[in-house]
Amino acid sequence: MSIAQDARLQPGKSAERPATAAPTRDFGHPAVWAVAVLLVIMPLIANGFFLIEIFGTSLILGIVALSLMFLAGYGGMVSLMQLTIAGLAGYMTAVLGASGNANISLGWPWWLATPMAIALATLFGTIGGTLAVRTEGIYTIMITLAIASAFYYFTNQNWAIFNGHTGINSVVTPHFLGIDWRADIAFYYVILAVAALCFGAVSYLARAPFGLALQGVRDNPRRMATLGFNVNAHRIAAYAFASCIAALGGVLQVWNYRQISPGSVGVERAIDILIIAVVGGTSRPIGAFVGALIFVLLRTFTLDFLVAIGLDGNRFRLLIGLGFLAIVLFSPDGIVGLWERLRGWSGQGKAQAGGERHG
């Protein structure tokens, strides 16, 4: 009846997709360690722009996309409201903490405001999830899209809490132990730590009894219900967990830009998260980060690139849209799936999946 029963489930039962068993195998591969070390010593290599604008932003977007990857990949629920949850966490960080808008912000210290923001956003995501699990498949997309757009229009119209379309500016970031945690290098390590934590949590949960039961629910809800699992409780719990991850990403996001406005929770941004997760590949947690890195690189350099080859530099979204279409039509598992298939063709007999970019 409940989540407590999940331990009964035999591992491997839901391993119809290679997704389930993969994450732990990765840790033995030398390339993974190389990428991990590279990420840790990144501040020595990259300058401030690359460190925060490219890698930091990729990791943050990757965290939000990871929450969608968890829901879509393991739960079979494509939720378009993950960015909305992140946005709410960001807004709450700004509203409860200190910011330039003194009439709105309550000025709580960061160690109180941040957990509170994450808790509120998680609660919101769980309630939204409770609504969404009443429906299935494509309906989930429609309902979460409606929730995301309603939140966007609400932030635009509400001045008492969300300060309308100007949003909240000059959000104060944490300072403690004598360190400015928004300084480039310190902030990079904060992001990296949170990203690693979320990645580890998702990888672990995918193999824990709860994650296996969730994948069972994804593959055959009716059979799981017959076996005595509460299908909806698992789905709602998945939403709660994913909301918590998205909320972490949202807090980092608002610290990164030091401001938040309805533009940051717009429907297009929400769809960007879906693009990131799908392009990266929703079968494995790493896909979210791969997708985020590609997305951020494209967003940052498309303009220069298009101008360099003599085209209109403003067609970034066109390129993203076409790339997304190509991935959806030709490689449903995203870049990660494509990579694995390439490896399957070229190096037969080599060690199986693993070893791609770690973020």
Partner 1 sequence: MSRFVERYPGRALAILIAVAAALWLIFATWPPGLEEAFGRKKVFLSAVFNGVTLGGLYFLVASGFTLIFGLMRNVNLTHGSLYLFGGYIGYAVSVATGSWLLSFLCAFIVVALIGAAMQILVFRRIEGQELRQTMVTIGLSIVFADLMLWAFGGNFYQIQTPAALVGPIELPFVTAVKSSGEAVYLQYPMVRLVILLAAVVIGIAMWVALNRTRIGMIVRAGVDDRDILAAMGVRIQLVFVLVFALGAGLAGMAGVVGATFQSLSPGEDLRFLLASLVVVIIGGMGSIPGAALGALIVGLAEQLGSVYIPTYAIVVTFLIMVLVLAVRPQGLLAGR
- Applying CB under 8 A, the residues found at the interface with partner 1 are 78, 131, 134-135, 137-139, 141-143, 145-147, 149-150, 153-154, 157-160, 267-268, 271, 274-275, 278, 312, 314-315, 317-318, 320-322, 324-325, 328-329, 332
Name the 3-class secondary structure at 176.
strand
- 184 vs 219, beta carbon nearer partner 1: 219
What is the smallest separation between the CB atom of 332 and partner 1, expressed in angstroms? 7
What is the smallest separation between the CB atom of 106 and partner 1, expressed in angstroms? 20
Give the whole-angstrom CA distance, residue 55 versus residue 224. Answer: 40
What is the smallest separation between the CB atom of 295 and partner 1, expressed in angstroms? 13
- 7 vs 311, beta carbon nearer partner 1: 311
Name the 3-class secondary structure at 208.
coil
- 131 vs 186, beta carbon nearer partner 1: 131
- 55 vs 152, beta carbon nearer partner 1: 152
- 162 vs 210, beta carbon nearer partner 1: 162
Report helix angle 231-257 to 184-207, nearest 10: 170
For residue 168, the 8-state DSSP code is B
What is the smallest separation between the CB atom of 169 and partner 1, expressed in angstroms? 21
Q: Are 278 and 334 in contact (CB under 8 A)?
A: yes
Q: Which amino acid is at 271?
A: I
Residues 6+ apart with CB under 8 A from 208: none
What is the smallest separation between the CB atom of 303 and partner 1, expressed in angstroms? 14
Give the whole-angstrom CA distance, residue 46 versus residue 35. Answer: 14
- 235 vs 357, beta carbon nearer partner 1: 235
What is the smallest separation between the CB atom of 301 and partner 1, expressed in angstroms? 18
What is the smallest separation between the CB atom of 70 and partner 1, expressed in angstroms? 16
Closest Cα to residue 120, out of 79, 170, 85? Answer: 85
What DSSP string runs through 24-93?
Answer: HHHTT-HHHHHHHHHHHTHHHHS-HIIIIIIIIHHHHHHHHHHHHHIIIIIH----S-HHHHHHHHHHHH
- 170 vs 314, beta carbon nearer partner 1: 314
Give the whole-angstrom CA distance, residue 285 versus residue 72. Answer: 11
Contacts of 190-193 spanning 24+ positions with Cβ under 8 A: 190/252, 191/56, 191/59, 191/60, 191/252, 191/256, 192/39, 192/40, 192/59
